[in-house]
Amino acid sequence: MFMCNASRSSPADSTLQHGQLIRAHRLALLGTGKPALALNRGQTPQSPGAGTCLLSALFLLLLSSVVTAELEPLSPNLGRALSAEEIAAFDLTILPNGQGLPVGKGSVSTGKAVYLRECMACHGEEGKGGLNNRLAGGVGSIQSASPDVTVGSYWPEATTLFDYIRRAMPYTDSGRLTVDETYAVTAYVLFLSGVLESDAVVGHENLADVAMPNKAGFYWAEAPK
């Protein structure tokens, strides 16, 4: 039950009373769903405290109109909840050690065919000379005065290449490649930089084991002691 003080109060006191009323109203809703309102004994509707109380009561009644009987969480009523299958489609995190890699595999030879069909327009026939970033070459140049930053020369983990291709490529229709096609393109791009041999096959079982030329150029940061 809400109790309103009949004594005269300052604006600060009124604000405090309003806060107390709101808290009491919430407790009442949680308990019975039917909050009650009462004046202090001796308080009349004409008293100063009663005016504050009645205004607060009006506000609380308005507030209660948006709370359902079951006290369901308020929602902006936009969109809908994602299903488990939809969430899984975006759960693409792959760690450097290969954790999270999907089952599959692809060869350099298959990757060349996919690359020429899906990637060459932007990155050039052999990973260079295209409209967008160079993918191949520059191995050993990172510590030089003119570093050539490419996938082969700079990236420390082969799993990162697979992860990026699966998330963002092809540029105009990302996510369209199958898992095996993604492994194959990964293998071909690594072949272009001399990281893999022409007959190499990579997949979820061995991609994390590929030795990248600049792996030693990265290290895990440690918290200061």
Looking at per-residue confidence, does 114 or 3 come out higher?
A: 114
Q: What is the mean pLDDT of residues 15-30?
A: 53
Looking at per-residue confidence, does 222 or 157 come out higher?
A: 157
Phi, psi for 3 (deg, rounded to 5): -120, 125
Express each pLDDT in 141-150 by its tens digit: 999 999 999 9
Alpha-carbon span 103 to 213, nearest angstrom: 25
Angle at 191 between CA 165 and CA 187, to 5 degrees: 40
Domain-located, residue 146: yes
Express each pLDDT in 55-82 by its tens digit: 666 666 565 555 444 555 676 788 888 8
Domain-located, residue 75: no
Residue 81 amino acid letter:
A
Q: Is residue 142 domain-shared with residue 53, that is, in the same domain?
A: no
Contact 208, 97 (CB under 8 A): yes
Contact 117, 196 (CB under 8 A): no
Q: Is residue 91 domain-shared with residue 124, that is, in the same domain?
A: yes
Q: What is the mean pLDDT of residues 93-100?
A: 94
Q: What is the mean pLDDT of residues 113-129?
A: 94
pLDDT of residue 45: 47
Tokens of 33: 């769903």
Q: Is residue 90 domain-shared with residue 47, that is, in the same domain?
A: no
Residues of the chain by 3-state class (helix, strand, coil), percent to 5:
40, 5, 50
The answer, yes or no, to whether residue 36 has pLDDT greater than 50, is no
Q: How many structural domains are present in the chain?
A: 2
Tokens of 140: 């050993």
Show the domain range for 201: 84-217
pLDDT of residue 56: 64
Residue 18 amino acid letter:
H
